[in-house]
Chain A
Amino acid sequence: MSRGQGRRLVPSYLAPGGSSAPTRNSLQSLTALIATSLPAKPHHTPAQQRLLDLTAKGPLTVAESAGYLRLPMGVCMMLASQLVDDGNLMARAPLSGVPDGIRTPGAGRPDKSLLERVRDGLLTAL
């Protein structure tokens, strides 16, 4: 283990309650998260509590939540996954028409109509 030579990649207090992998592999960096009214459970970590506090007032993406909480996105995703499973967070997939949070493997190139909306939207951006 070369890990002992430098600082830890992830502080131990961020360890997501004993699970080493996300319980669902569906969250993406642009999945929107919003807290439900369910209170945090005893097994939730302080970082998870902060994530619930952050998303209690409105939706934020996994990426933005990570930025505000100063967590790596991968860590934020793990913390959020458990909270989604526990019913404390709701996750909304980045694109409408795609089932909730489901990653489409090898989905290939982006949809043309979506790209046209990006283009047309940028045309009117000042």
Chain B
Amino acid sequence: MVSSPPSSSAPSPVYLPDGDFDLVKILIVGPFGIGKTTAIETVSEIRSLHTEEPMTQAAASVDDLVVDGKSTTTVAIDFGRITLGGTRIVLYLFGTPGQERFRVIWEDIAQGALGALVLVDTRRLDASFEVMDLVEDAGLDYVVALNRFPDTPAHELDLVRKKLDLEDHTPLVTCDARDRTSVLDALRTLADHLVSRAGADLS
């Protein structure tokens, strides 16, 4: 459920907490239907919000997008937030499809992001290559989270790492988008990774 329209009644606004909080964002990216929206809903303290960003005319003319059988010239963004009161941070999670044809607006979406959680699925790993290209081109460090069932054999992780040709330093975790602890764990792994990468050479 990626490009679902907003429900008929707008949720009442949940305002920002009082005091000096720093507002940061992390991207959650992956192909359509991978569970980005679910992951955001699972951990967000507000009902997740949705916007449709128009593609530029130039992009619309080269791409006649057809998604779920309907033509669209917009990119859907879902987002939610988590207040980390102890460290005065409001963390926003922006979910967006990482597809090559969205490159024109990707720079705007990635602007100021701390890093990205890339959701992948073994049934269509190929769809993840362009996602990772976009994330890397935006200069974002990332963690790959494999949508995996409990009985999936452990060796599959090694296989996925190899197929995706991940850098040695890029963490690969498993994640159940419906499970709050699981999503938070993936975000913790990402935050750990971002701290360890801070100051490291961009390569």
Q: Which residues of B contact A54 (CB under 8 A)?
A: 13
Instruction: Tell me, yes or no, whether A9 is within 8 Å of chain B by CB.
Output: yes
- Chain B 90-110 residues near chain A, CB threshold 8 A: 91-92, 94, 108-109
Contact A121-B54, Cβ < 8 Å, known A2-B60, A57-B15, A112-B199: no
Contact bitstring B1-16, A, C-beta under 8 A = 1, else 0: 0000010001101011
Contact A121-B25, Cβ < 8 Å, known A30-B92, A59-B15, A74-B53: no
One of A10, A63, A95, A122 near B22 (C-beta < 8 A): A95
Of B125-133, B149-157, B167-175, B187-195, which stretch is located at the interface?
B187-195
A75 to chain B minimum Cβ distance, whole angstroms, is: 8
Contact A58-B10, Cβ < 8 Å, known A94-B22, A117-B87: no
Query: B112 touching A94 by the CB < 8 A rule?
Result: yes
Instruction: Tell me, yes or no, whether A29 is within 8 Å of chain B by CB.
Output: yes
Contact A67-B79, Cβ < 8 Å, known A59-B15, A119-B188, A125-B84: yes
Instruction: Tell me, yes or no, whether B61 is within 8 Å of chain A by CB.
Output: yes
How many of chain B's residues have a CB under 8 angstroms from any CB in A?
Answer: 55
Of B34-42, B44-52, B158-166, which stretch is located at the interface?
B44-52
Interface residues on chain A, size class: 35 or more
Instruction: Tell me, yes or no, whether A38 is within 8 Å of chain B by CB.
Output: no
Contact A28-B53, Cβ < 8 Å, known A70-B10, A110-B198: no
Instruction: Tell me, yes or no, whether A73 is within 8 Å of chain B by CB.
Output: yes
Instruction: Tell me, yes or no, whether A71 is within 8 Å of chain B by CB.
Output: yes
Instruction: Tell me, yes or no, whether A124 is within 8 Å of chain B by CB.
Output: yes
One of B23, B57, B89 near A32 (C-beta < 8 A): B23
Binding site for A on B (CB under 8 A): 6, 10-11, 13, 15-16, 20, 22-25, 46, 49-55, 57, 60-61, 71, 73-74, 77, 79, 81-82, 84-89, 91-92, 94, 108-109, 111-112, 114, 139, 184, 187-188, 191-192, 194-195, 197-199, 202
For this complex, 9 residue pairs linking A to B, each with C-beta atoms less than 8 Å apart, are: A9-B54, A29-B112, A30-B112, A95-B23, A112-B195, A119-B192, A122-B91, A122-B188, A124-B84
Binding site for B on A (CB under 8 A): 1-3, 6, 9-10, 28-30, 32, 54, 57-61, 63-64, 66-68, 70-74, 94-96, 109-112, 114-125
